[in-house]
Structure 1
């Protein structure tokens, strides 16, 4: 691999991070629009469940398991046989994936009442609400087919170091949902019908958006079809266990939603909005680095370069914790301030803020673990080891259900969020332990000093924020401008104190540079 490519991972991560940041900002705007227009509870709870089911399958099947199984196989064939073999592989996978997901989508649309009964079991006593879930599923589920094709296209582009276009596709979803909420929803008796249609529109547009970039790679064609390729079977074998391996946190979040349907009206929405804020740092840093990390680790494994494999993984761990630890503490300290500024308007009340703040703080406790899972799992998948992560994932999922049952009664929806965070830490810890046993976990000298410095700086930032919150000036009011000023000062103070503390404990920008 050329020196230019070897040194490009940090730049690629920045490109993906910037694109992801823009997408997350628009996603936040989308959620503000949703909160203002629809609030929580009622029909909006029904829509959130109908949106979460295909969205969960997208992350689990299209982006999670498929991505982790496909990219290492593609890298292997590209390294061994060149682009001609890759072209045949991509064509065969496209046919296979399209057919399988097409059948799943058709069955789901026809059986939407059954899916509603399964995933919104707490609505059984409210027939109208349960029927709404089924109606929304018929509109949102076809999104799975288009986003699966988009995931295939994104995996190909990422493998060819073309990260920008795939990173921009979520922007289309957010723009479509914002536009649908503002312009389509008022046309329907149940306004959420408009945004359900917006989900389907977004899927079509995302897929079409990647076509020009795909054609430039030379390994994708609209007219050239190859029905068979030995790599397809290999992907199938790797993909089955990967369904659990990297996506356990998503399974846990879906289970939270199912259980939340049994809790008081609005619980689904409170979990949704708190999860969305937690996803902001996770998406911008954790997922962005993981996106460029898997192709890089896969290539290094194909080249049998164990030293750079270790250093690359160590670099990724240092960077995600540099962001994850302070983000966790900030979200735990400032949940009500952030939720009040962003969502308390229109249909989203101060009571909603109060209840959502608890689950936001609970989710935030697991944020570094969510990030580490995104980094540690590719260390297995890049070596085509999907069995170890799936064993760990199943253990974490079982423990999540145990934690749910223990915490849901005393803490309600907050207990569900806390259980998800606890199982995420268990998942990350077991991944690290198995990498250590296989002598694949980076040496302590590569990661421990950075973790200690990051933890110290994060504690300093937390002390500063807690002290500021004791001052009367930082009490939130009904005035939007005053809310904005309060949160802006708190965020600036947190960032500034963290940056100064990092410098004091010896962290420098050079520490973020990826090893050549």
Structure 2
């Protein structure tokens, strides 16, 4: 399997998802601004997303995919399909119960996340509309785990585009209708989320059927009992325990930060959201793509007892992090205002909102290397079916993050929350790297010092050019000329990319080394 080709496939589809996501966020910023209404929606949308990370691509995927890949490598496809049916049945019933409880208990859940919201009742209503989204997306995560194990990376990476298109369509078509009938137009976003969730689940069916892995979900009590008694289900649940705790720690940090932000004034939650959307662009393009490709590959290497190949795959991923994540981090730090202004400074999104979002984006930029690095290093433990070590590290990092909040939030406000998350991610990544080295699972390949010595000057030169472009052009003043501003942004970014890779080429970095085969 060509790792770079697989990661590139995921990245290209993820790029499409992020582009449509930026269009979606631009429409939200333009139509609703950054205030009490958008704060209410962001909190309501964050709740099912939190649970999706528990039941979906977080704890569940971290436990399920290594066991699935290992079972297929050692026992074959037929045994693996039986495992899929059993896991799907148990997951389906757990999700059904969760959705019912969530809809009933929405007022308490919203209060836990944003007691300081001005539009608390509106957030409760939108949470009830969107809570079933968790059921759709967790089953989509099950499908993604199966398809990735069968080396079908494109569809899972393309699926999120449907959510963005559904929300865009709802804002264009449904929001005016709601407004004419005296309802809050922002409810169109909730409807778009649910439509997107159903569409994402529906397109998994043909792909799963094509590889003979469409799960047979047992609907009766006897079928549920048979599924519950499957030994593979108990293995997944045993691995999910520590993984669930680990993801819960991360989500607890998110809950605490959202709660703090809701008390920092109207707009604070939204400023963090828009900055997070820009931060998620490189995180998804690189970090998620590498994680998706590495987990099945590392799990197969572990099942084959190939220690050398295992370490080589981790080394390949970490070099890509240094090569590609570092320039993204530099851009977020020195070119934040042009990015935010060009993407969001329209309609109801004011100059003050740009300034506030820029502060949060720079805070995230300080930790981008760590945020992406964790997505490469954590699979090194997951593939070993070692969930406990990352959990212990995550708990310690949670404590560190909240201690940093005590220092940074009184000084920097909502931007301090972003900075704490970024620096906490750096601590997390460094700790995971140290753990893999200490356990002997990762041994750096020769040439790291020379590689870093070539990458750093390229980043310094690129960063200097971006800083000059940010300072010399009036990005806020070009609001009335959006095409001109977008053209300048595109030109500067193209020049930055050309200069970066040009310096790398002149310094002797051979990019072909990354097109390695596992």
CA contact (8 A) 2:351 2:476 kept: no
The structure 2 residue matched to 1:203, chosen from 172, 176, 197, is: 197
Counterpart among 133, 138, 157 of residue 143 in structure 1 = 133
- Please give the per-residue CA displacement for 1:366-386, whole angstroms capped at 9, x wherever unaligned: 111111000000000001000
Deviation at 1:244, TM superposition (A): 4.2
- State the SS of the aligned residue for 1:190: coil
Distance 2:490 2:252 in 1: 34
1:55 is aligned, of 18, 36, 49, to 49
Match of 1:92 in 2: 86
**Following TM superposition, by how much is the alpha carbon of 1:222 offset from its aligned partner in structure 2, in angstroms?**
4.2
Q: Does 1:109 align with 2:103?
A: yes
Question: Which residue of 1 is the match for residue 146 of structure 2?
Answer: 156
Q: Which of 177, 192, 195 lines up with 1:187 in the alignment?
A: 177
Q: Tell me what 2:253 maps to.
A: 252
Counterpart check, 1:481 vs 2:514 = no
Secondary structure of the structure 2 residue equivalent to 1:122 = coil
Note the C-alpha offset of 1:246. 5.9
Query: 1:185 aligns to what SS in structure 2?
Result: helix
Question: Does the CA contact (< 8 Å) of 1:465 and 1:493 recur in 2?
Answer: no
The 1:353/1:51 distance shift into structure 2, 3 A limit, reads: same
After superposition, what is the alpha-carbon deviation per residue over 1:370-415, rounded to whole angstroms, capped at 9, x for unaligned? 1100000000000100010000011111211111122111110000
1: distance between equivalents of 2:95 and 2:252?
Answer: 19
Partner SS for 1:27: helix
Range that drifts further, 447-456 or 74-83: 447-456
Q: Paired residue for 1:461?
A: 462
Distance change (3 Å), C-alpha of 1:388 and 1:8: same
TM superposition score normalised by structure 1: 0.94
Q: Which ranges in structure 1 are unaligned for 5 or more consecutive residues? A: 1-6
Rounded to whole Å, the distance in 2 between the matches of 1:251 and 1:311 is 34
Q: Is the 8 A contact 2:253 2:398 kept in 1?
A: yes
In structure 1, the residue matched to 2:161 is: 171
Give the SS at the match of 1:514: coil
The question of whether the paired residues in 1 share the 8 Å contact of 2:338 and 2:470 is answered with no
Q: Is the 8 A contact 1:64 1:247 kept in 2?
A: no
CA distance in 2: counterparts of 1:446 and 1:83, whole angstroms: 40
Determine if the alignment matches structure 1 residue 375 to structure 2 residue 376: yes
Structure 1 distance, partners of 2:172, 2:5, is 36
Q: 1:451 to 1:487 in 2, by over 3 A?
A: same
Once the two structures are superposed, residues 231-272 of structure 1 have per-residue CA deviations (whole angstroms, 9 ceiling, x without a partner) of: 111111111111243675555344322211000111111000
2:19 corresponding residue in structure 1: 25
Give the drift of 1:37: 0.7
Q: Is 1:388 aligned with 2:364?
A: no
After superposition, the Cα gap between the structure-2 partners of 1:469 and 1:152, relative to the gap in structure 1 and judged at 3 Å, is closer
Partner in structure 2 of residue 13 of structure 1: 7
Give the alignment partner of residue 70 of structure 1, picking from 53, 64, 67: 64
Cα distance in 1 for partners of 2:363, 2:282 equals 15
Structure 2 portions without partners, runs of 5+: none
Q: 1:474 to 1:405 in 2, by over 3 A?
A: closer
- The structure-2 alpha-carbon separation of the partners of 1:164 and 1:248, relative to structure 1 and needing over 3 Å to count, comes to farther
Q: How does 1:163-312 map to 2 (within 5 A)?
A: 163-188=153-178, 189-222=183-216, 227=227, 228-245=229-246, 251-312=252-313
Give yes or no for contact 2:335–2:470 (8 Å, CA) kept in 1. Answer: no
Give deviations 1:32-85, integer Å, cap 9, x for gaps. Answer: 011111111122110110001111221233101111110111122212221111
SS in 2 for 1:220: coil
Pairing of 1:355-366 with structure 2 (within 5 A) = 355-366=356-367
- Secondary structure of the structure 2 residue equivalent to 1:477: helix
Q: CA deviation at 1:219?
A: 2.7
Alpha carbons 1:249, 1:420 under 8 Å: kept: no
Show the counterpart of 1:4: none
How many angstroms apart in 1 are the aligned matches of 2:333 and 2:51?
29
Is the Cα contact below 8 Å between 2:88 and 2:216 reproduced in 1? Answer: no
Secondary structure of residue in 1 paired with 2:292? helix
Confirm or deny: 8 A CA contact 1:318 1:451 kept in the other structure.
no
Quote the Cα distance in structure 2 between the aligned partners of 1:247 and 1:211: 30
Q: Provide the aligned length of Structure 1 versus Structure 2.
A: 506
1:511, CA displacement in angstroms? 2.3
Aligned twin of 2:510: 508
* CA 1:100–1:221: 2 relative to 1, 3 Å: closer
| CA pair 320-271 structure 1, distance change in 2 beyond 3 A | same
Q: Deviations over 1:319-339 (max 9, x none)?
A: 122111000001111111111
Name the SS of the counterpart of 2:446 in structure 1. helix
Query: Aligned partners of 1:455, 1:395: CA distance in 2, in Å?
Result: 30
Cα offset for 1:446? 5.4
Q: Secondary structure at the match of 1:445?
A: coil
- For 1:71 and 1:186, how far apart are their aligned partners in 2? 43
C-alpha contact (below 8 Å) 1:468/1:474 kept by paired residues: no
CA distance in 2, matches of 1:216, 1:389: 35
- 1:414 is aligned to 415
CA distance in 2, matches of 1:161, 1:472: 46
How far is 1:180 from its partner? 1.0
